[in-house]
Amino acid sequence: MSDQAVLLLRKQLKELSRNPIEGFSAGLVDDCNVFEWSVTIMGPPDTIYEGGFFTAHMTFPKDYPNKPPGVRFVSEMWHPNVYADGRVCISILHSPGDDPHGYEDASERWSPVQTVETIVLSIISMLSDPNDESPANIDAAKEWREDYPAFKKRVARCVRKSVDDM
């Protein structure tokens, strides 16, 4: 199974370097390990994240693509759906699992047809459109809801920092 993961990840890496997708760039953290990716996501235009270059690490399990990777921002990030330690919490990174109603919203859960590209595109869409209903970072969610100017300020700091760190 792990062979399948290696082949598939290599294939995706090759494909992404040959035909880059607008909005992010992807590579390996360490060239010998195809399971650890580093992606740099540009803050989507017309959002408060615009101008930022946020780096995130994707860690793929051995049974990828049947199990989702974990994604963690290494750049500082302030967002309702990103834990304080940088872990990204979006539904497509979760398996349907034992949830008996899992299939009612199956569209949102992990499925082996997801690729690095679709995951990153989901993260970009998360940046422009936070999901308030299941916040990972309660403080950020509260600020986003109740004190948007302060939230914006804090994000602007993250954006500046991400550029400085480049």
**Exposed e or buried b for every residue in 101-125, given b needs 16+ CB within 10 A?**
eeeeeeeebbeeebbbeebbbbbbe
Dist CA 131 CA 109 (whole Å): 15
Query: Residue 134 Cβ, how far from other proteins at the closest point, in Å?
Result: 19
Which of 36-44, 79-87, 102-110, 158-166 is the region at the interface with other proteins (rule: CB under 8 A)?
A: 102-110
Place of tokens 């989702």: 68
52-81: contacts with other proteins (CB under 8 A): 63, 65-67
125 sits near other proteins (criterion: CB under 8 A): no
| CA 150 to chain CA centroid, nearest Å | 24
14 sits near other proteins (criterion: CB under 8 A): no
Residues annotated as part of the active site: 89
Contact positions toward other proteins, by CB under 8 A? Answer: 1, 4, 7-8, 11, 63, 65-67, 95-100, 102-103, 106-107, 111-114
